[in-house]
Homo-oligomer: A and B are copies of this chain.
Amino acid sequence: MHSSPAMERLAASLKRLPGIGEKSAARLAYFLLSAPDSLLTELADAVGRLKSDTVICGRCFNLSDRSPCRVCADPRRDAGLICVVEEPADLAAVEKSGCFRGLYHVLGGTLSPIDGMGPESLRIDELAKRIAAGGVGEVILATNPNAEGDATAHFIADRLAKSGVRLSRIACGMPLGGDLEYADHVTVGRSLENRREIS
């Protein structure tokens, strides 16, 4: 960029974000220069206050503005059902499905020995404590259906085996609207293995 230092400074900051390269950063900077002042004020304010206004729920470890979070504090949610997810973004995806009315537990990642992520790096003890406190009937292990997610789900299932709580894993198969021709073979294989009888 050969424009104003203010533009170059903004483009340099934007370039540090994931998925934004030099050209995108320049394009965004030019866009913002001609955008309404209100958008710039909003954006600067939202970035500046992001961390101070965000807390982690002490019960489920979701991101929130309070602890316990809105989900944990909602008396209409089923406290007997806990959905275990890797990250807050996964929790958001489950909430968006509108199919789950229980509570959550955010692990903070998956087991990954290569990256130094052992069981002590995840919030597994905290999950065991929530179950030991009683009142939980079922734990749905909703870690992602890949090697790390599967290993983590199995590890947690072993750990909770004697707790007496029912343990389940999210279903794996063809995505809705998918096409067998274009799906990867592992997904097709899973959709055959996990076939359900038509009643």
Contact = CB atoms under 8 A, between A and B. Distances in A.
Contacts of A53: 4-6
A28 B2 CA distance: 27
Interface stretch (A86-94, A126-134, A186-194): A86-94
A63 interface: yes
Interface residues of A, number: 55
Contacts of A96: 2
A152 interface: no
A58 to B, nearest CB: 14
B91 A2 contact: yes
B39 A13 contact: yes
A10 B46 contact: yes
A140 interface: no
A26 B89 contact: yes
B4 A63 contact: yes
Nearest to A32: B50
Give the secondary structure class of A's interface.
Answer: helix
Given A32-B50, A89-B26, A62 B3 contact: yes
A37 B13 contact: no
A144 to B, nearest CB: 15
Contacts of A89: 26-27, 30
Contact of A51 (B3, B37, B42, B49): B37
A46 B54 CA distance: 22
B16 A63 contact: no
Contacts of A39: 13, 16
A71 interface: yes
Q: Which 10 residue pairs of A and B lie closest in terms of their CB atoms, listed nearest first?
A: A6-B53, A44-B48, A2-B95, A10-B46, A3-B63, A44-B47, A13-B43, A4-B54, A44-B44, A2-B92
